[in-house]
Amino acid sequence: MARVLILGATSAIAAEAAVSYAARRDELHLVGRNAEKLAAVQARCAATRVSVERADFAHLAANEGVVARAFEALGGVDIALIAHGDLGNQLASERTFEAAEATLRTNFLSVISLLIPLANRLENERSGRIGVITSVAGERGRPRNYTYGAAKGALNVYLQGLRTRLYASGVSVTTLKLGPVDSPMTRDHKKHALFGKPEKVARDIVRAIDARTAEAFVPSFWSLIMPVVRSTPEGLFQKLPFLSGR
């Protein structure tokens, strides 16, 4: 039985991951911003012991305490999944720094404020697994979401360094590069065949963290698509509306 911490537990994907962990009787500590949604996820995980805390990760200075209380509630952490994020408003982020900063704070700075105390504790204990949800949007800047993509790209680089730092202590760090998922986060997006389903995506996430995979594209077919997107010359990229359009 593992002790599992899920930060951002009320997202559709994180909730399904929590249910997967509960099904195998892992002990859970769930942290999320919305108390009603948090209670609903807790109820779905009734097969095991579950504790919860409501927290807003945008309050960066408070996040060290969130991690400390999670370790206290579980008596230590074996697996931690950081799952929160928000697409933000790209057009607004181009008009004002306030909107851009909000997107960067949610998708990069708040994650770092959680990773620092989490990594330090697991490094001292010389064990544990960390999984962090990022996005294929971080692989290349595109007009439709480059502020969000910049946050996820920066996070990818941070996780590369963290993974190598923690390697000697036996702590694994899994970067989970998700493609678009059919969830409330993308409710305003036109859906197509490349959209994943939360249940399947969550199972892939749990599997990748268990296997201590360094970087996992989820669903896996993105590992074939993104090298092409990354390597397309910029002059050609800008002429292809399905890549460069809004």
pLDDT band for position 242 (50/70/90)? confident
Q: What is the DSSP string of the chain?
A: --EEEEETTTSHHHHHHHHHHHHTT-EEEEEES-HHHHHHHHHHTTTS-EEEEE--TTSGGGHHHHHHHHHHHHTS-SEEEE-------HHHHHH-HHHHHHHHIIIIIHHHHHHHHHHHHHHHHT--EEEEEEEGGGGS--TTTHHHHHHHHHHHHHHHHHHHHHHTTT-EEEEEEE--BSSGGGTTSPP-TT-B-HHHHHHHHHHHHHTT-SEEEESTTHHHHHHHHHHS-HHHHTT-HHHH--
Tell me how many degrees the CA angle 23-117-44 measures, rounded to the nearest 5.
20
Total domain count for the chain? Answer: 1
> Considering the chain, what is the average pLDDT of its residues?
94
Per-residue tokens: 40: 């609903």
pLDDT of residue 74: 98
Tens of pLDDT, residues 107-124:
999 999 999 999 999 999
Print the domain residue range for 39: 3-244
- Whether omega before 184 lies within 30 degrees of 0, making that bond cis, reads no
Rounded to an integer, the average pLDDT of 69-83 is 98
Q: Residue 189: pLDDT band by 50, 70, 90 thresholds?
A: low
State residue 181's pLDDT score: 86
In angstroms, the CA 141 to CA 145 distance is: 7
| CA–CA gap between residue 71 and residue 122 (Å, rounded) | 10
What is the rounded radius of gyration, in angstroms, for the C-alpha atoms of the chain? 18
Q: Which tokens hold the place of 57?
A: 């990760």
Q: What per-residue confidence (pLDDT) applies to 240?
A: 84
- Tell me the mean pLDDT in the region 66-76: 98
CATH code for position 234: 3.40.50.720
pLDDT for res 186: 61
Average pLDDT for 4-24: 97
Q: Does the pLDDT value for residue 32 go beyond 80?
A: yes
pTM score, whole prediction? 0.93
Overall average pLDDT of the 209-237 stretch: 94
pLDDT of res. 239? 87
Report, as an integer, the average pLDDT of 33-38: 96
Report, as an integer, the average pLDDT of 85-97.
Answer: 96
- Give the per-residue pLDDT at 182: 79
Structure confidence at residue 245 as a pLDDT band (50, 70, 90): confident
